[in-house]
């Protein structure tokens, strides 16, 4: 089996009982390890992750999770971790801690006769988005793109990495907490096939003859399995802190969504 999961947001100040949350995620990975060939984590496994030039003691809280991933890798399971918009600031440290393969960009893989597009989902838009969306939505998208460019700016990353970890983490975790509380108070449900950005992106790719059998995303914290006109399926994984949903691909190439309950 090949498993796909995303958006655990470990360490979030908005999620109560952080240790129990991490323990449940580890138990979920243990269950998957019984028949897993590969495990893909599609971003935002941490609510905030920054690797400083100074040793960051706060990373010790993630030792059980990182130890579990390293154990899976030693068992021969291929573990892939994609960066999301909350944990993109890894510069080799996360790979060293876990032994997982880190992906900074979307990619397309072929498994069991199926082509699969994998991405966290932030900043994924159809090519005609500026023409497609009304001005109010375009303004929000442009603001997000601007913010994303700041987060990915190498000079600013170097400056932030020079901060004492206690300072940087206070800013990062509080920023993430506000985002999480805002989402919990005012969740954004599925927008519909003609408005959901990730669905529109998949349709746009199909129009450009970039066919994939499956498009799998995280980021949105909603569960979706939608077949579009080309026959491709768009799958949004949900999350691993509220919905506890994931997908698995069997050796026949069949992809199914599941809910983890202990």
Beta carbons within 8 Å of 109's beta carbon, 6+ residues apart: 115, 116, 118
Beta carbons within 8 Å of 228's beta carbon, 6+ residues apart: 193, 199, 202, 203, 206, 234
Q: What is the pLDDT of residues 13-63, one digit of tens each?
A: 988 888 999 999 999 999 999 999 999 999 999 999 999 999 999 999 999
pLDDT over 70 (residue 85): yes
- pLDDT at residue 149, as a whole number: 86
Q: What span, in angstroms and rounded, lies between the C-alpha atoms of 198 and 236? A: 9
pLDDT over 90 (residue 132): no
**CA geometry: angle 101, 107, 109, nearest 5 deg:** 85
pLDDT over 70 (residue 76): yes
pLDDT over 80 (residue 234): yes
- pLDDT at residue 126, as a whole number: 83
pLDDT over 90 (residue 185): no
Domain locations in the chain as residue ranges = 2-259
pLDDT over 80 (residue 88): yes
Q: What span, in angstroms and rounded, lies between the C-alpha atoms of 128 and 23? A: 43
| Dihedral, 33, 34, 39, 41 alpha carbons, nearest 10 | -60
- pLDDT at residue 262, as a whole number: 63
Q: Rounded mean pLDDT of 206-223?
A: 96
- pLDDT at residue 47, as a whole number: 95
Residue 217's DSSP bridge partners are 119, 236
Is residue 224 within 8 Å of 236, Cβ to Cβ?
yes
Percent of the chain at pLDDT > 70 equals 100
| Second-level CATH architecture of 2-259 | 4-Layer Sandwich (3.60)
**Mean pLDDT score of the chain, rounded to an integer?**
93
- pLDDT at residue 208, as a whole number: 93
- pLDDT at residue 42, as a whole number: 98
pLDDT over 90 (residue 150): no
Q: What is the pLDDT of residues 92-105, one digit of tens each?
A: 999 999 999 999 99
């Amino acid at each position: 089996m090949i498993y796909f999961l995303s958006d655990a947001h470990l360490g979030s100040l908005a999620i109560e009982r952080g240790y129990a949350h991490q323990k449940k995620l580890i138990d979920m990975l243990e269950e998957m390890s019984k028949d897993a060939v590969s495990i893909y984590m599609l971003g935002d496994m941490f609510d905030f992750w920054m690797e400083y030039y100074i040793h960051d003691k706060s990373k010790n809280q993630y030792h059980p999770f990182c130890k579990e991933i390293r154990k899976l890798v030693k068992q021969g399971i291929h573990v892939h971790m994609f960066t999301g918009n909350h944990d993109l600031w890894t510069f080799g440290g996360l790979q060293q801690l876990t032994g997982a393969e880190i992906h900074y960009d979307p990619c397309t893989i072929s498994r069991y006769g199926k082509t699969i597009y994998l991405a966290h989902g932030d900043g994924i838009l159809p090519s005609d988005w500026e023409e497609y969306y009304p001005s109010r939505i375009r303004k929000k998208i442009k603001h997000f793109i601007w913010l994303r460019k700041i987060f990915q700016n190498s000079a600013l990353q170097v400056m932030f990495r020079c901060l004492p970890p206690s300072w940087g983490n206070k800013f990062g975790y509080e920023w993430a907490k506000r985002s999480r509380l805002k989402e919990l108070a005012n969740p954004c449900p599925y927008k519909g096939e003609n408005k959901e950005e990730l669905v529109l992106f998949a349709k746009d790719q199909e129009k450009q003859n970039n066919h994939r059998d499956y498009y799998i995303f995280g980021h949105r914290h909603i569960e979706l399995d939608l077949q579009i006109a080309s026959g491709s399926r768009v799958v949004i994984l949900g999350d691993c802190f509220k919905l506890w949903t994931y997908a698995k691909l069997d050796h026949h190439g069949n992809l199914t969504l599941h809910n983890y309950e202990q």
